[in-house]
Chain A
Amino acid sequence: MRSLLAALVATTCLVSVAEAATVFPLDRATILAGSPFDMKVEFDAVVASGDVTVTINGEPAEKVLGKSVAFVEKEKGVDASAVIVRAASIAKPGTYTVEAKAGGETKTVVWEVFATPSTPTAKNVIFFLGDGLSVAHRTGARLMSKGMHEGKADGRLNMDDIPPVAFIGTSATNAVATDSANTMSAYMTGHKTAVNAIGVYADRTKDPFDDPRVENIAEALRRTTKKSIGVVATSEIEDATPAAVVGHTRLRAEKAALVNDFFAVKPEVILGGGSAYFLGKATPGSKRKDDKDYVQLFRDAGYTLATSKDELATAAGTNSGKILGLFHTGNMDVTLDREFLKKGTVSKFPNQPGLVQMTQVAIDELAKNPDGFFLMVEGSSIDKMSHPMDWDRALVETIEFDKAIGVAVEFARTHPDTLIVVTGDHTHGVSIIGTVDDDKPGADMREKVGTYAEAGFPNYEDKDGDGYPDRVDVSRRLMLFANNFPDYYETFRPKLDGPFEPAVKNEKGEYVANEQYKDVPGAVLRTGNIPRNGDTAVHAVDDVVLQATGPGAEGFRGYMEQSDVYRALVDALAIAPVQN
């Protein structure tokens, strides 16, 4: 490997031609002025260093980016050359045309470097991310929580009073379909990337840690402000969505490394599951492959530790200013199991807090900072229960997510300088098509599905007024279906004994219907319509609805790419004012 300056002499000699080189950031990238990012040019063949030039607006890349340019003649595992610039930045907003040449071939991409207004409109931002939140989840949560008669809802969700302001396109750089890593990464960095990637563009080498990095919002706030940062989720805290606030890796499964990234940024409030990746490998229950004890490292860094809802309440009263709350070794149990059915892993972890308490503690703690804060709250298991088509759990999760939004709305009443955003990261192929009524005649569950006028209204009750249905196994329930699925047994009933596992893998590597549900009365086998290596229902490509209220909400409008959302967030906070 050789390094040399980019101000290389262009020659016309014959070389093995690099066709259609790839430049990262990709064409049409939007880059926050002054934010560090890596630039990489991947040529399609081995080229001679003397034949390579990389210019930006006609000037040598090195001069514009302020960093030296490295030439790699042959990348590891790839029979081709590349040019890499680490931690570059461009201070001046404008249009930048990047030209990468190797011999006679040229690849041109255009970047837009943007500044923010000079004066912030918002002091605080609370970003609510319902993982997989689709329109059916909202509708179902409202019907289940509030009820309906004569066609009008008997109450409103908190999110019902936050104006929908934009439709968000969620596609990845490598596919129209998408996952929670690249979608949240786009929200949190302003750059779209590939499925499974977080805080990086996905390059062609196998190493999941060498990909071209972009700055995330946590790093941007650390670089430009004294604001506090909070990350709250009901999943493992190092799962894709919460990790995308702080992390950088090509592969979201690198959870141990994502814990390292949390430690590098040190958000003041970190609440969620996933303690297994904080424990050294010698501790039973650890999922790390090294001996690093991040629980101790965070304690040494001044964090108050909480491992149960009682300890969280205690931690909220301390003055450490930093709280690490880890409430499960893996994903936290869902609300329906935690508060009502006591299934899942609730017997092992009986004192997990819910998203409402976690959101309240986070806001109270972060609001102590006179400079303001950024808080990300994820309703993680709306998605985790929608994959296996466990609709009752997914809807109850949505109700809890909505209650957490209510905490923020209440805070904003007394802190009007707070921007609240509510959105999903992608959708699911799910719809409510009516009801299913056990009291209809016969044993054939399919004939008990009510459509059109036969649907009537569901008969959930909320006698204790807690916003949750007293039972989900009422006689006339909402009927939801996924439009895509592996082979599975449709039972038409809530899964009262634990989260649904629709399919299991057979010896051919194909997912087949889980026979544990075969003998549920009325269960019918549905033959799948996705490839047989698919374990559960998949994400939809449909747009996501984004809602916003408070100062800066006007930055969201019409159709937006997921990466455009970042710009509206940093505009509201004015973290990159135009330099004169």
Chain B
Amino acid sequence: MPRNRISPVRQMHPPLSRRRLLQAGAGLLGMSVLGVGPAAAATALDFDELYGKISVLGLSFSDKVKSLAGKKVAMRGFMAPPLKAEADFFVLTEIPMALCPFCSSDADWPDNIVVIRLDRAQTFEQANALIEVEGTLEVGSWTDPATGFVSLLRIVGAHFHAV
């Protein structure tokens, strides 16, 4: 699948692309860096690897996502503006979201989002800042009973840190 990013930095200033360097680093170092414990090594998962097929009539999960269902994963991305600063639920996006779909009636989520459910509430990280999330991948449609938010991919029992 062709890569699709709309991050403007990447091509204007390749040397400055912190994100790209970090991604490359994560790829090279792999599990030894991202592992959270000897029994629960997290596999790095990139936004480009979520879907095998993207079409008007629906997406299909990639083989990698299917094989990682129920397992520990680590993803890097940006924290979409949450409804409140302290929350145990937020949306991870590939690029910083200029709009807040929770807040604005005009905005809508991109296709490739991942819902993060934290094991404990953490404070909002700057939308300009790249974060890394680790937790257990859940695959398949699920409706959050509290908010009615429908998600296809979730990382649960998660925690995150700025990178």
Chain A residues proximal to chain B, CB less than 8 Å:
179, 196, 236, 240, 251-253, 255, 275-276, 279, 281-289, 295, 307-308, 326-331, 343-349, 388, 495-509, 512, 514-517, 519-520, 535-536
Q: Could you tell me the distance in whole angstroms from the C-beta of B96 to the nearest C-beta in chain A? A: 4
Chain B hits for A346, CB < 8 A: 4
Tell me whether A507 and B58 are in contact (CB under 8 A).
no
Tell me whether B127 and A343 are in contact (CB under 8 A).
no
Q: B44-100: which residues lie under 8 A (CB-CB) from chain A?
A: 51, 54-61, 81, 85, 95-100
Bound together, the chains give a CA A343 to CA B2 distance in angstroms of: 11
Chain B hits for A288, CB < 8 A: 150
Chain B residues proximal to chain A, CB less than 8 Å:
1-13, 16, 51, 54-61, 81, 85, 95-100, 104-106, 108-111, 123-128, 141, 143, 148, 150, 152
Q: Could you tell me the distance in whole angstroms from the C-beta of B150 to the nearest C-beta in chain A? A: 6
Q: Could you tell me the distance in whole angstroms from the C-beta of A35 to the nearest C-beta in chain B? A: 27
Among candidates B58, B100, B106, B128, residue contacting A279 with C-beta atoms closer than 8 Å: B58
Tell me whether A284 and B51 are in contact (CB under 8 A).
yes
Tell me whether B105 and A516 are in contact (CB under 8 A).
no
- Check A498/B7 contact, CB under 8 A, given A275-B57, A279-B58, A516-B96: yes
Tell me whether A535 and B51 are in contact (CB under 8 A).
no
Bound together, the chains give a CA A433 to CA B162 distance in angstroms of: 42
Chain B hits for A344, CB < 8 A: 6
Q: Could you tell me the distance in whole angstroms from the C-beta of B47 to the nearest C-beta in chain A? A: 12
Tell me whether A501 and B96 are in contact (CB under 8 A).
yes
Chain A hits for B106, CB < 8 A: 179, 240, 252-253
Among candidates A253, A497, A503, A508, residue contacting B6 with C-beta atoms closer than 8 Å: A497
Tell me whether A276 and B123 are in contact (CB under 8 A).
no
Chain A hits for B54, CB < 8 A: 285, 329, 348-349
Q: Could you tell me the distance in whole angstroms from the C-beta of A178 to the nearest C-beta in chain B? A: 13
Q: Could you tell me the distance in whole angstroms from the C-beta of A87 to the nearest C-beta in chain B? A: 27
- Check A330/B108 contact, CB under 8 A, given A281-B150, A504-B96, A506-B127: yes
Specify the chain B residue showing the minimal Cβ separation from A327.
Answer: B56
Of the A-B pairs whose beta carbons lie under 8 Å apart in the complex, a sample of 5, sorted by A's number, is A236-B108, A251-B105, A252-B106, A287-B108, A508-B85
Tell me whether A507 and B96 are in contact (CB under 8 A).
no
Bound together, the chains give a CA A503 to CA B104 distance in angstroms of: 15
Chain A hits for B9, CB < 8 A: 497, 516-517, 519
Chain B hits for A519, CB < 8 A: 9, 13, 16
Chain A hits for B16, CB < 8 A: 519
Bound together, the chains give a CA A512 to CA B7 distance in angstroms of: 17
Among candidates A285, A308, A512, residue contacting B59 with C-beta atoms closer than 8 Å: A285
- Check A329/B111 contact, CB under 8 A, given A284-B152, A517-B8: yes
Q: Tally A-B pairs: CB < 8 A.
A: 140
Tell me whether A286 and B150 are in contact (CB under 8 A).
yes
Bound together, the chains give a CA A24 to CA B3 distance in angstroms of: 52
Bound together, the chains give a CA A369 to CA B4 distance in angstroms of: 42
Q: Could you tell me the distance in whole angstroms from the C-beta of A497 to the nearest C-beta in chain B? A: 4
Tell me whether A196 and B105 are in contact (CB under 8 A).
yes
Tell me whether A284 and B123 are in contact (CB under 8 A).
no
Specify the chain A residue showing the minimal Cβ separation from B81.
Answer: A505
Tell me whether B125 and A329 are in contact (CB under 8 A).
no
Among candidates B6, B104, B143, residue contacting A281 with C-beta atoms closer than 8 Å: B143
Specify the chain A residue showing the minimal Cβ separation from B54.
Answer: A348
Q: Could you tell me the distance in whole angstroms from the C-beta of A166 to the nearest C-beta in chain B? A: 27
Tell me whether A498 and B6 are in contact (CB under 8 A).
yes
- Check A505/B97 contact, CB under 8 A, given A285-B59, A514-B128: yes
Chain B hits for A282, CB < 8 A: 141
- Check A535/B99 contact, CB under 8 A, given A286-B150, A499-B6, A507-B125: yes
Bound together, the chains give a CA A344 to CA B124 distance in angstroms of: 27
Bound together, the chains give a CA A283 to CA B58 distance in angstroms of: 6
Tell me whether B12 and A497 are in contact (CB under 8 A).
yes
Q: Could you tell me the distance in whole angstroms from the C-beta of B20 to the nearest C-beta in chain A? A: 12
Chain B hits for A236, CB < 8 A: 108
- 7 more contacts with CB within 8 A, not counting A279-B57, A505-B81, A505-B100, are A284-B60, A288-B150, A330-B111, A347-B4, A497-B8, A501-B96, A535-B104
Q: Could you tell me the distance in whole angstroms from the C-beta of A300 to the nearest C-beta in chain B? A: 15
Bound together, the chains give a CA A258 to CA B57 distance in angstroms of: 18
Q: Could you tell me the distance in whole angstroms from the C-beta of A299 to the nearest C-beta in chain B? A: 11
Tell me whether B7 and A289 are in contact (CB under 8 A).
no
Bound together, the chains give a CA A508 to CA B84 distance in angstroms of: 9
Bound together, the chains give a CA A113 to CA B12 distance in angstroms of: 59
Bound together, the chains give a CA A236 to CA B6 distance in angstroms of: 20
Among candidates A285, A307, A308, residue contacting B111 with C-beta atoms closer than 8 Å: A285
Q: Could you tell me the distance in whole angstroms from the C-beta of B111 to the nearest C-beta in chain A? A: 6
- Check A504/B141 contact, CB under 8 A, given A279-B58, A347-B3, A509-B81: no
Tell me whether B127 and A505 are in contact (CB under 8 A).
yes
Tell me whether A535 and B100 are in contact (CB under 8 A).
yes
Q: Could you tell me the distance in whole angstroms from the C-beta of A376 to the nearest C-beta in chain B? A: 19
Tell me whether B128 and A497 are in contact (CB under 8 A).
no
Bound together, the chains give a CA A145 to CA B143 distance in angstroms of: 48
Chain B hits for A307, CB < 8 A: 55-57
Q: Could you tell me the distance in whole angstroms from the C-beta of A69 to the nearest C-beta in chain B? A: 32
Tell me whether A498 and B150 are in contact (CB under 8 A).
no
Chain A hits for B2, CB < 8 A: 347
Among candidates B8, B109, B125, B148, residue contacting A516 with C-beta atoms closer than 8 Å: B8
Tell me whether B8 and A348 are in contact (CB under 8 A).
no
Tell me whether A286 and B58 are in contact (CB under 8 A).
yes
Specify the chain B residue showing the minimal Cβ separation from A236.
Answer: B108
Tell me whether A535 and B143 are in contact (CB under 8 A).
no
Among candidates A276, A497, A500, residue contacting B10 with C-beta atoms closer than 8 Å: A497
Tell me whether B56 and A253 are in contact (CB under 8 A).
no
- Check A286/B56 contact, CB under 8 A, given A348-B4, A498-B6, A516-B7: no
Chain A hits for B58, CB < 8 A: 279, 283-286
Chain B hits for A281, CB < 8 A: 141, 143, 150
